[in-house]
Amino acid sequence: MTQSLQHLWQRGAAFLGCEHAIMGGAMSWVSERNLVSALSNAGAFGVIAASSMPPQLLDAEIQATRALTTLPFGVNLILMHPQLEELVAVCGKNHVSHIVLAGGIPKKTTIDAIKAFGAKVIAFAPTAVIGKKLIKMGADALIIEGMEAGGHIGPVSTSVLAQEILPEIKEVPVFVAGGIGRGEAIATYLQMGASGVQLGTRFVCASESIAHDNFKQMFIKSNARDAGVSVQYHPDFPVIPVRAINNKATDEFMRFQKETVDKVFSGQLEKAAAQLAIEHFWAGALRKAVINGDVETGSVMAGQSVGMVQCIQPAKEIIDELVSQAAQYIARQH
């Protein structure tokens, strides 16, 4: 690794407490003990996806990850989780060093509760204004994630967010995410002022990832344009867009929305219940694909960088490849 790459992500690496300022994106069912520990052991920073886990399950997952690595890792908590306070307490009990708060703007009380036991808070900033607000609330670092990412996404691309936010926010480390599949892109965002990056899609096909082989093979054979965005059927029933590889489930979701909305208008279903049913559609569909290998009717959430996933390889090999690409790219400029 060249000195200049080390210098560029020094702040991010020091903040995370690892060698390379590359965070693993928290992917439900995928970012568990095996992948998380493999990333941390490879010099990057693994992050457990707490997702919809109850507190006792998260407790067990953190301890199981600790058994596989002595290096730092984080936990990603979803803000709308009904037991958020208990999950924060579990992280405190286990001395988790970094907590990523996802799925909205956190309450000041949540940030305070995390900082009370000495953990660092990382939050998602969709705009510079919200980023500055989060810093005032006590966020220790920010992630800016573009719409090229897999799973639930916002409306703005990574390159635009980077241009809007990186020149504006210097107070805390900022990590760039969404559509990053090679080291050259990592180097470019670091040169623009990022302290590090976050990648998810690129790590799904790590040999340590427990994702079903069917799921991994779908990633390997797909290209960027196969990772499409779910469409909202009716303006009165908002859907947080989800990026996934197009399959039968994509068509099924449109049909399911139409049927559910029709039930509301014919008086068979309350609007709130319908909204909940629409939101829950993908939860079971993701597990079906990742764990059971049903990539036809399950949800194969993937970012647009999926086209750069060519084979199954150990996490360390992926990290070394990214680091080498970034270092060579920087070296060529001198």
Q: What is the Cα–Cα distance from 114 to 101, expressed in whole angstroms?
A: 10
Any alpha helices (H) in the chain, and if so which ranges? Answer: 3-8, 10-16, 33-41, 55-66, 84-93, 108-116, 128-137, 158-165, 183-191, 213-221, 248-265, 271-290, 315-332
Q: Does domain 3-210+308-332 have CATH number 1.10.3720.10?
A: no
Is the full-model pTM beyond 0.85?
yes
3-state secondary structure (DSSP) of residue 168: coil
115 HSE (CA, 13 A, CB side) = 13
Nearest-10 crossing angle of helices 84-93, 55-66: 30
92 HSE (CA, 13 A, CB side) = 15
Contact 286, 27 (CB under 8 A): no
- What is the full per-residue pLDDT of the chain (334 aa) written as tens digits? 556 999 999 999 999 999 999 999 999 999 999 999 999 999 999 999 999 999 999 999 999 999 999 999 999 999 999 999 999 999 999 999 999 999 999 999 999 999 999 999 999 999 999 999 999 999 999 999 999 999 989 999 999 999 999 999 999 999 999 999 999 999 999 999 999 999 999 999 999 999 999 999 999 999 999 999 998 999 999 888 899 999 999 888 999 999 999 999 999 999 999 988 888 887 789 999 999 999 999 999 999 999 999 999 999 999 999 999 999 999 998 7
Q: What is the Cα–Cα distance from 307 to 272, expressed in whole angstroms?
A: 38
Domain boundaries, the chain: 3-210+308-332, 223-301
Q: What is the Cα–Cα distance from 309 to 199, expressed in whole angstroms?
A: 12
